[in-house]
């Protein structure tokens, strides 16, 4: 096997391992968010899954949806989010 072919094989193995690590981290984050959503629903029973839909980079929209549904202050919502994410 040439050194170039060996390098390609090593790169593929590293790439596969990184993908597996990323998938596990994503699943862990999703699991933690599911726990946090449950805690938020316990606090404010009128929240729906749509209200708590999270998309990376759209945190402001999430807070706005919760604020609209609960009529709570932004500070109260941010505090509840921080507490619920301490899984």
CB 46 within 8 A of CB 70: yes
Model pLDDT for residues 33-63, shown as the tens digit of each residue: 888 899 999 999 999 999 999 888 888 999 9
The answer as to whether 34 is a domain residue is yes
Residue 18 pLDDT? 59
**Residue 12, in any domain of the structure:** no
- Taking the C-alpha atoms of residue 52 and residue 13, their distance in angstroms, rounded to an integer, is 37
Average pLDDT of the chain is 79
Domain containing 63 — which CATH number? 1.10.1470
- Give the chain's domain count: 1
Q: Is residue 77 a part of any domain in this protein?
A: yes
Residue 3 counted as domain residue? no
Greater confidence, 71 or 9? 71
What pTM was computed for the model? 0.64
Query: What percent of the chain lies above the pLDDT cut of 90?
Result: 43
Assigned domain for 58 exists: yes
Give 32's pLDDT tier (boundaries 50, 70, 90).
Answer: confident
How far is it, in rounded angstroms, from Cα 27 to Cα 6? 32
Backbone phi, psi, residue 47, to 5°: -75, 140
């Amino acid at each position: 096997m040439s050194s170039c072919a060996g390098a390609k094989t090593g790169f593929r193995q590293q790439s596969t391992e990184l993908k597996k690590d990323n998938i596990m981290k994503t699943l862990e984050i999703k699991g933690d968010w599911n726990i946090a959503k449950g805690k938020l629903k316990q606090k404010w029973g009128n929240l729906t899954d749509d209200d708590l839909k999270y998309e990376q980079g759209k945190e402001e929209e999430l807070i706005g949806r919760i604020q609209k549904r609960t009529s709570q202050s932004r500070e109260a919502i941010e505090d509840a989010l921080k507490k619920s994410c301490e899984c």
